[in-house]
Amino acid sequence: MTAAPQVEAMEIHQTEGIRETIESIVIALILAFVFRAFIVEAFVIPTGSMAPTLFGAHGTLVCEDCGVEFAYGLRDLEDKRRGQQVKAMAKAICPNCNHANTNLVFNDDDKNPKKGDRILVLKWPFAFGIDLLSPARWDVIVFKDPADGETNFIKRLIGLPNEVLMIVDGDVYTVPTDELSESSLNTLEDIRREKAEFRMKQRTGRLRAVPTDVMAELRQKMTIARKTPAAQELLWYPVYDHDYPASTRDSDQPYWRAEQESSSGWDAESRRVRFVDRGVRNDYIELAGRPIFAHNAYNIFDRTGPPIGDVRVRFVLTPEDEDAGLTIRLAKLGRTFWARIRADGTVTLSQSPAKSSVPVDEMATTSVAPLELGSPVEVSFENLDYRLTIRINGDEVLSSTSDKESAAYYAPDYSRLSRMRTRADEMPRIYGEGGAMEIAHLVVDRDEYYYHERRAHALGALRWAPPGGWASPNYPILLREDEFFMLGDNTAASKDSRLWDVAAPHLDARGDGFQLGTVPRDQLIGKAFFVYWPSGYPLPYVPPVGSLRWRFIPDVGRMRWIR
């Protein structure tokens, strides 16, 4: 007689438990949706436009000649927009020794290339309209492709609203619009408006060139947009690492060569470079072989690109004599720069005309603690974005300045801005003097180099547009409020703001409110900040299913922050 109420209570309790469970699941799904929609979302990199910062579908190999491991691009088999996959005769050019590798794993044995990096994108900062949380120059940004409004693109943010931007000799030059005269700004706005009329087919002919007086003002007021330190470390690309010398040596492969081989005190044949002073005047080693070009190993068959003058030489120095010293020589655009470091702690920065064998004008000098004999010290000398820097153990000890009144003044010649070109024969040198020393881990790096291809009309059917693309030399782009300019790190294989020639219907409908070559603020999705799953490793005992090979083991060593 007393059991019925107990059973009823149990049924009510079970019903409430089921309801609570369902409510918890629904709340969890809602929170997950909100989190994905407004906080953080995961994306997969499909292409190599940001390589080597981020990889799309790719293969990896160890160079047949020098032993350096690197990645090369493959077609994403799920991406129907792209061209034919890599052919059997393709070669991957080693970024270190320039060897053309043929042992490519085109389809990972079973038509399953390594997938692209999986990344996390922070979305909420862009939603509040607060300046402190706004996109910043050099951030890596995910946004909607202006050509279709649906595909997610990822590029590096280069140009900001309310500025004029132009790319010359690999560098990004900008000037805020409020620093320009009213007449120049009106002229640039008229040209931008004409550009919109051409896009909407309300105008025929060719886009008007920027008048010479406006270009003169821009050259006077534009400055280089220097990268943040975090971004710059990702955008230094190794040219040659002497820890990985080529087993063969032809005229197209880099190596360190003593200028006076028979009498030189330099021995660069092994990984540890040694110098003993033999009284030879101007005794130096020079990086010989292939000149330094904007080559990206990710691009199959890509062996060239413009020559580059923004270079860094770094190594570990062990002085063995208190009179020992060395001088690093870098050259760019007809000027030569010298960083002299002596064991007694004297550091000097000098310059001279091109191809000079000795420094002529001292720019700056300083003294640091004397180098301890027999103890290694890290040394680097860089010519980066018109700034010379000498570092010892990572600390900046001497640099050039943009102050015209200083002897250490170094800046681009803006009167020749559009004609600047780096010479292919200006290669790094290291001079020795005074005593014995040893150099280990000798590396030459080059900076990111953005450029426009001028051999063919870059913008396809837009015959009215600048031949090299948007923001090319002598064709600056005016960015209005809420307009951004994006570039891929892999310049040679990135269709980005330089080359966009189509507007999606929803952008085209904005008429004069949209500008080709830009990304409107409302098309930004978020900032990429972490690679949480690089391409994994397949388990050797798990057989593939059809053409699919499962990759269960994460490549933890390549999980990384995105700068």
Give residue 79's pLDDT. Answer: 46
Mean of pLDDT values over 529-537? 83
Three-class DSSP category at 317: strand
Residues 247-268: pLDDT tens digits?
988 878 999 999 877 789 999 9
Q: How confident is the model at residue 4 (pLDDT cuts 50, 70, 90)?
A: low
Query: How many Å apart are CA 314 and CA 328, to the nearest integer?
Result: 10
Give mean pLDDT, residues 200-207.
90
Closest by CA to 360, choosing from 352, 368, 370, is 352
**pLDDT over threshold 60, residue 94:** yes
* Residue type, position 313, single letter: V
CB 513 within 8 A of CB 482: no
Which DSSP symbol is given to 482? T
What pLDDT is attached to residue 540?
60
> Do residues 240 and 97 lie in contact, with contact meaning Cβ atoms separated by under 8 Å?
yes
pLDDT of residue 348: 97
More confident residue, 65 or 107: 65
Residues with Cβ < 8 Å from 389, sequence gap 6 or more? 380, 381, 382, 396, 398, 399, 400
Question: Rounded to 10 degrees, what is the CA torsion of 315, 321, 325, 328?
Answer: -20
Pairing of strands 284-288, 429-433: antiparallel
Closest CA to 76 of 107, 50, 53, 34: 107
Percent of the chain with pLDDT over 90: 58
* The token pair that represents 203 in the structure block: 């105008």
Q: Is the pLDDT of residue 208 over 70?
A: yes
- Return d(Cα 410, Cα 416) in angstroms, integer: 15
- Residue 12's Cβ-count burial label (10 Å; 0-12, 13-18, 19+) is exposed
Q: Are 135 and 45 in contact (CB under 8 A)?
A: no
pLDDT tens-digit map of 40-67:
788 888 888 999 999 988 888 899 999 9
DSSP class of 53: T
Rounded to 10 deg, the angle between the 182-199 and 212-221 helix axes is: 110
Q: Across all residues in the chain, what is the average pLDDT?
A: 85
Mean pLDDT of the region 343-347? 96
pTM for the full predicted model: 0.88
How far is it, in rounded angstroms, from Cα 447 to Cα 48? 18
- How many CA atoms are closer than 13 Å to the CA of 273, on its beta-carbon side? 28
pLDDT, residue 73, reads 84
Mean pLDDT of 217-229: 94
DSSP string, 489-504: SSGGG---TTT-----
Give the torsion sign (CA, 461, 465, 469, 470): negative
pLDDT tens per residue across span 120-164: 998 877 766 666 678 999 999 999 999 999 999 999 999 999 999
Higher pLDDT, 102 or 375: 375
Range with top average pLDDT, 83-87, 111-115, 321-325, 415-419? 321-325
Distance from C-alpha of 50 to C-alpha of 136, rounded to nearest angstrom: 18
Confidence of residue 19 (pLDDT cuts 50, 70, 90): low
pLDDT at 77 over 50: no
Mean pLDDT over 167-183 rounds to 95
Split at pLDDT 50, 70, 90, the class of 453 is confident
Rg of the chain taking only CA atoms, in angstroms:
28
506 pLDDT band, cuts 50/70/90, is very high
Q: Which residue has the tokens 């009823």?
A: 8
Single out the residue of 230, 233, 224 nearest to residue 170, CA to CA.
224
pLDDT at position 530, please? 93
User: What DSSP character marks residue 456?
Assistant: S
Does the pLDDT value for residue 301 go beyond 80? no
In 3D, which of 485, 449, 454 has the Cα closest to residue 468?
454
Task: Determine what percent of the chain is predicted with pLDDT higher than 70.
Answer: 82
pLDDT above 80 for 399? yes
Question: Are 317 and 328 contacting, i.e. CB atoms less than 8 angstroms apart?
Answer: no
Q: How far apart are CA 211 and CA 215, in angstroms?
A: 6
Q: 437 pLDDT exceeds 90? A: yes
59: helix, coil or strand? strand
pLDDT at 110 (0 to 100) = 40
Say which residue, 467 or 410, is predicted with more confidence.
410
**pLDDT value at residue 61:** 87
pLDDT of 441 strictly over 80: yes
Q: Which amino acid is at 362?
A: E
DSSP string across 401-445: BS-TTSTTB----GGGGGG----TT---EEEEESS-EEEEEEEEE
Q: How far apart are CA 248 and CA 97, in angstroms?
A: 9
Q: How confident is the model at residue 76 (pLDDT cuts 50, 70, 90)?
A: very low
